[in-house]
Every structure is written in C-alpha cells, then in structure tokens.
Amino acid sequence: MKISWKVILLWTIPALVIGFFLWQGAFSPVANEMGRNTASSRMTYGRFLDYLNTKPQQITSVDLYDGGRTAIVEAVDELNSQVQRWRVDLPNNAPELITRLRESDIRLDAHPIRNDGAIWGLLGNLIFPILLIAGLVLLFRRSSNIPGGPGQALNFGKSRARFQMQASTGIKFEDVAGIEEAKEELQEVVTFLKQPEKFTAVGARIPKGVLLVGPPGTGKTLLAKAIAGEAGVPFFSISGSEFVEMFVGVGASRVRDLFKKAKENAPCLIFIDEIDAVGRQRGAGIGGGNDEREQTLNQLLTEMDGFEGNTGIIIIAATNRPDVLDSALLRPGRFDRQVMVDTPDVKGRLEVLEVHARNKKLATEVSLEAIARRTPGFTGADLANLLNEAAILTARRRKEAIGMLEIDDAVDRVVAGMEGTPLVDSKSKRLIAYHEIGHALVGTLLPAHDPVQKVTLIPRGQAQGLTWFTPDEEQGLISRAQLLARITGALGGRAAEEIIFGEAEVTTGAGNDLQQVTGLARQMVTRFGMSDLGPVSLESQMGEVFLGRDWMTRSEYSEEIAARIDAQIRTIVEHCYDLSRQLVRDHRTVVDRLVDLLIEKETIGGDEFRQIVAEYAQVPQKEQFVPTL
C-alpha cells in the first residue's frame, strides 16, 4: 500500500509539536536536575517549621530551587530508618529559615537558576507558529488543485473550456451515421479549416457560426467532435451552463477569455453544447431577467462580432430548443447557418446499427435491416442503447452471440420498460387480454392503421399488457384517415371491455388511451383543420410557456369557438368509439379465440395474429373500410 508523502507530513507535524512540549516539560535540563530529588509528597511551610522545632535531628538535608521558592526536605525516620522526602513551597521572605537550619547543623544546598528553560521556551514559542503556518500553506496548496476550491478564487473568470491542441477526439465522419445531409453541410467547414485559400481566392467568407438543431440523442455533440477530428485543428469544448455563475460578471469574463485563447490558437474550432442555457431570449423572465445570464449573452454577441469570418475561428453550437434562443444570436453574421440533425430514416438507422454493431458479436440470423424497420423514431443514442441492452441480455443468458430474441426483448425494454412478473390466471388477466385483443383487432381491421407487431400479457413498466404497432414505411405526413384510425384503434380496448363485460365492469385501464385520443382529436380540430370548423389553425404548436411574454397571452379564439371545438372533439371521439364497438361486436368469435390463445401463450406475433383474423374476416386493404365522419 503506497502512502503519500503529504499524508505522512500531515500526521508528523502534530506529533512533533506534541512531542516537543512533552520533552520540554519533562526532559529539560532543569526538570531532570530537580527530578533526581523529587519528593514523594508535599508539606506546608508551617508544618515544616513545626517539624524543624520538634525533630531537627531527623532532617538530614535541605535543597533550595527556583531562587529559594521551593525546598526539597530529606529526613530519616528514627523507628525504621527510612528516608523520606517532602516538597515545601517557601514564602518570598524567609531569611530566618536559613539561620535556623545553620543553627541546627542541617546540610543546606542552594541550586542556582539556569537560563536553559527560557531558551527552550523561546524556541517553543517560535517553532509552534512556524509549524502551524507551514501546515496551513500545505493545505492551501492542496486546495488550490481542487476545482472550485479556495485556491482558485482568482480564476473564476478563466474559461473552463476543455482544450485539445491536436483535436484527438478519435471520431471521424465515418463514425457518425444516419445524418448524411448534416455531414454534407459541415464538410465545407472541414475543408475551410484545412485549406482556407480555396474560399479566400474567390472572395468567399465561411460562416462564423453553425448551429446544430435537433432532438436529444441524434448525434449533435458527436458530429462536432467528428468535425474536429477530420480537420485536425485545436478544439475548444464547453457547455453553455459553464458560463453562468452566481457571481455577476464571471460569465462575461469567461467568454472573453475563451475567445482570447481561440484567437491565439487560430485556426481552431469552438464547440458550445446546450447553448440555450446561456442564449435564451433576453428580457423573458417574469419580473425581470437573469442579469448575469444576459450579460454573458451580450458578451458572446460582442465577441462574435469582434473577429472576421476568415480568421480561422469557427463556432459550432448545439441545442434542442431553437425556439427559445435570442433573435440576435441567430442573425446573419453570428450563427449564419442552422443544420438540422433529425432522427434518421430507415436507411440512416441501418447505417447507425452497422456502426454500433462493429464491436458486437451477432448471430447469423440477426438482420440489421429488420431491426431498422422495426425501430421508427429511434435516434442514434436509442439504437446504441438498444444493441447494448441486447448484449447485456445475451451475457446474462450465457449465450455466445446476440440473437433476434435478445434484440426483440431489448426493443421491448427500451420502449416499454423492464419486464415484470407474468399475471396468474384470474378474471383480471382475462380482462386485460380482452383489452389488448380489442386494440389489436380494431387496428388490424382498419386499413389506414399501422400493422400489429405483437400482443403480449407480460407486464412492462406500468402497463399490465401491451400491443405494438409498427408502420410499414416512414410517415413524414399523416392523413386524416390515419388519425381517425389511430383514435379508433386506441379506443378498441375500452370497447372490448364494454362489449364483453358490460358497462359496469369498465376499468381504468384505458386512462392513458383516452388521454392520447383526446390529444389527437384536439389537434385535428385546432391545428390541422380536419373538422367542420374549416381549415383554420386555432392554437399554436407551442404547448407550454417557454418565455415570460407568453404567460399572459390572450386566448386565440372566442368562447363560442371554444364551445364548438369541444363539440367537434366529442363528435370525433364518439364516432370512432361507436366504430370500434361495432368491430368488436361483429367479430366476437375471433375475439374469444384470440383471447384464449393469448392467455395460453402470453404473447402473439403480428403474422400469427393476422392469419387467425383472416380465417374469420377479410383483412381489408388500404383503400377499404376507411372510417369517415
């Protein structure tokens, strides 16, 4: 075990101080000399005079110390001839005592005062403060190495950007997949950092700032590291929250220091992650804004105006909240270009899976293309987590390679949560089975609905049973028929409960379904113009209060229109609910068979489900049986 020299020093200093004083008090020359004649007990001065008057022949010697203030009396007992010693504190004026001792022929010896005690006392008074100061200096030096410690009080205004001179991020463009459009946009940034003369020769000016916008997990930070890795220039990386402190002016000072370092190392790349932490709309707070944050933003705007576009400094920022950024930050001349880093499509998801599967041992039956088609809406981070969860399940099950079973279980875990304990056979399990079969059956019979992927009774997360629907293709635009089909399918579980068990036995299991149904119906009426109110947008897409200016925003429609909106929402939901109940009622036989099979197997795949339904009813094509109002 290796012990640091600082630890040894911290324990040695107190031990030396304590040992020094013990040695000074117990082992000094004066104490040693007096210790040779140490008395076993004390005797008062009056009792010593009485003893001297009555038994002077027993007293053999008297030694005086401390300038005559202390006496060590030695006497011999006549009965047992034992030698006894007493310590006597003498008064200041006792000249008659010496006379009486000489008259009684008692040996008297006076020991002079030595100056060694004063010297050692002086040294002790000097050594202890010196040792104390040395210990404090050592502790102060140690605390100066701790981030945010008292030794860094003068470094508050310094930039905390992580600086890499050779941009050894270890990430290239080939390691970033699924966002080809964004990589093409940023390829010219890399070219400018490597060969700026190509642009300056024709009078072109590279954008000062590039803003990466996209949902969380789409690879914005990874893309910035790839740019630095491709260009091979100095790389400054900092988060927007690291600019803002509780002390006024610290953030602005850090911005100045960051750009000063960047100009000294140009050409270079500055990456600010989560810039919305410092670049929010100014004057947006209720009752006044955060002055420190606004001063930091003002300094950032000023610094971006303080260098020319061809100086070789490029700022890349990332955010998933572009709607809250200050307009002055987004104007041309600062962040000139916005690059959208969106969720990948099927081809992009396949490329991402290929990147993350490089260090994974996959079984031969695993199809990355099938996984990509099954995971619409997954970001790059979701897909990386998916393969990692599958690898963990493979190791837990002691298999040599990741199979499709582990992939399927990993998808279910990422989407719905951890698998719970299967339900025992009971009325509750049968009710849940009818609920899930209702969802799946209605979704299968509606041509505009997404196909069923799987129906299961195995609990995951908060859900006691789940039904998965997977779209056949990427859905950038959603039609009115698809929205109505989704509302009808979401109400299929509630409809099955009412048809099979009666209205009195309807449970709370459809609570989440009703929330989704109401939200979709409201958007159809107020945002998409898919109701009798006509093609008008009555509500903005912003569903929550981002800025203080939106807190007291007036209503965008009158009370009469609000009543009509509620009526239209109720009409859409009731129509879809009637349709779902009719489908369950007309296909009661296949519902019962599917429920018995689901209770027995606990999980039914989409292909098997559709085959069973096809035996009892015609599964409609896209253009058949579209729910209309």
Q: What is the pLDDT of residue 578?
A: 94
Label residue 162 by pLDDT band (50, 70, 90). low
Region 509-519: mean pLDDT is 91
Is the peptide bond prior to 207 cis by the omega test (within 30 degrees of 0)?
A: no
Is there a common fold for 5-116 and 346-416?
no
Q: What is the pLDDT of residues 319-351, one digit of tens each?
A: 988 888 888 888 887 888 888 888 888 888 888
Q: Residue 283's CB: how many other CB atoms inside 10 A?
A: 11
CATH architecture of 162-340: 3-Layer(aba) Sandwich (3.40)
Check pLDDT > 80 for residue 586. Answer: yes
Contact indicator for 318, 220 with CB cutoff of 8 Å: yes
Q: Please choose, from the candidates 161, 355, 357, the residue with its C-alpha nearest in 3D space to the C-alpha of residue 260.
A: 161
Q: Which amino acid is at 204?
A: A
Lowest mean pLDDT among 163-172, 316-325, 377-386: 163-172
93-107, 132-146, 183-197, 526-540 — most confident range: 526-540
Q: What percent of the chain has pLDDT over 90?
A: 16
More confident site: 393 or 468? 393
Q: What is the pLDDT of residue 47?
A: 80
Q: What is the pLDDT of residue 498?
A: 93
| H helical segments located in 397-510 | 404-416, 427-445, 480-490, 492-501
Check pLDDT > 60 for residue 209. Answer: yes
Check pLDDT > 90 for residue 577. Answer: yes
121-125, 202-206, 326-330, 518-522 — most confident range: 518-522
Residues with active-site annotation = 436
Residues 6+ apart with CB under 8 A from 495: 438, 442, 577, 580, 581, 583, 584
From the centroid of its chain, how far is CA 137?
35
Check pLDDT > 80 for residue 419. Answer: no
| H helical segments located in 417-558 | 427-445, 480-490, 492-501, 511-526
Q: Please choose, from the candidates 495, 482, 480, the residue with its C-alpha nearest in 3D space to the C-alpha of residue 579.
A: 495
Q: Please choose, from the candidates 615, 623, 614, the residue with its C-alpha nearest in 3D space to the C-alpha of residue 444.
A: 614
More confident site: 387 or 256? 387
Region 490-495: mean pLDDT is 93
Q: Please choose, from the candidates 574, 475, 466, 478, the residue with its C-alpha nearest in 3D space to the C-alpha of residue 512.
A: 466
Instruction: Parse the chain into domains and list their residue ranges.
Output: 5-116, 162-340, 346-416, 427-542+554-616
Torsion angle of C-alpha atoms 607, 608, 609, 612, degrees rounded to 10:
120
Q: What is the pLDDT of residue 337?
A: 82
Label residue 42 by pLDDT band (50, 70, 90). confident
Check pLDDT > 50 for residue 223. Answer: yes
pTM above 0.75, yes or no: no
Q: What is the pLDDT of residue 140?
A: 66
Region 571-590: mean pLDDT is 93
Q: What is the pLDDT of residue 621?
A: 59
Which CATH number is associated with domain 346-416? 1.10.8.60
Average predicted confidence (pLDDT) for the chain: 77
Q: Please name the fold of domain 5-116.
A: 3.30.720
Q: Which two tokens stand for residue 262?
A: 């960047």
Distance of alpha carbon 568 from alpha carbon 59, whole angstroms = 123
Q: What is the pLDDT of residues 12-35, one digit of tens each?
A: 656 655 665 555 554 444 444 454
Q: What is the pLDDT of residue 253?
A: 81
Check pLDDT > 80 for residue 565. Answer: yes
3-class DSSP state of 452 = strand
Q: Residue 135's CB: how many other CB atoms inside 10 A?
A: 15
Region 359-388: mean pLDDT is 88
Lowest mean pLDDT among 96-105, 195-204, 344-353, 585-594: 96-105
Q: With respect to CATH, is domain 427-542+554-616 assigned 1.10.10.10?
A: no
Check pLDDT > 50 for residue 44. Answer: yes
Contact indicator for 58, 76 with CB cutoff of 8 Å: yes
Contact indicator for 389, 410 with CB cutoff of 8 Å: yes
Q: What is the pLDDT of residue 580?
A: 94
Label residue 437 by pLDDT band (50, 70, 90). very high
Q: Please spell the DSSP secondary structure of 265-322, one letter per residue.
A: T-SEEEEEESGGGT-BPTT-STTS--HHHHHHHHHHHHHHHSS-TTSSEEEEEEES-G
Distance of alpha carbon 198 from alpha carbon 203, whole angstroms = 9
Region 586-609: mean pLDDT is 90
3-class DSSP state of 378 = coil
DSSP 362: B
Give 26: exposed, middle or buried? Use CB within 10 Å, 0-12, 13-18, 19+: exposed
Label residue 81 by pLDDT band (50, 70, 90). confident
More confident site: 477 or 382? 382
Q: Which amino acid is at 140?
A: F
Distance of alpha carbon 273 from alpha carbon 261, whole angstroms = 18
Lowest mean pLDDT among 36-40, 175-179, 434-438, 590-594: 36-40
CA distances from 628 to 16, 476, 482, 551, 625 (A): 93, 22, 11, 38, 9
Q: What is the pLDDT of residue 48?
A: 77
Question: Across the chain, which distance is largest between two alpha carbons, in Å?
Answer: 142
Q: What is the pLDDT of residues 552-563, one digit of tens each?
A: 445 677 888 889
Task: Round to the nearest angstrom and report the end-to-end CA distance of the chain.
Answer: 79
Lowest mean pLDDT among 248-262, 275-289, 306-320: 275-289
Distance of alpha carbon 436 from alpha carbon 496, whole angstroms = 9
Q: What is the pLDDT of residue 571?
A: 94
Check pLDDT > 60 for residue 545. Answer: no
119-128, 135-144, 188-197, 563-572 — most confident range: 563-572
Lowest mean pLDDT among 134-138, 152-156, 359-363: 152-156
Check pLDDT > 90 for residue 245. Answer: no
Check pLDDT > 70 for residue 115. Answer: no
* Cα torsion 260, 261, 266, 268: sign: negative
Check pLDDT > 70 for residue 625. Answer: no
Distance of alpha carbon 488 from alpha carbon 576, whole angstroms = 5
Q: Please choose, from the candidates 91, 103, 83, 92, the residue with its C-alpha nearest in 3D space to the C-alpha of residue 46.
A: 91
Distance of alpha carbon 134 from alpha carbon 117, whole angstroms = 25
Contact indicator for 620, 481 with CB cutoff of 8 Å: no
More confident site: 92 or 185? 185
DSSP 52: H
Q: What is the pLDDT of residue 376?
A: 82
Region 413-427: mean pLDDT is 75
Region 608-627: mean pLDDT is 70
Q: What is the pLDDT of residues 45-57, one digit of tens each?
A: 778 777 777 777 7
Check pLDDT > 70 for residue 551. Answer: no
More confident site: 172 or 398? 398
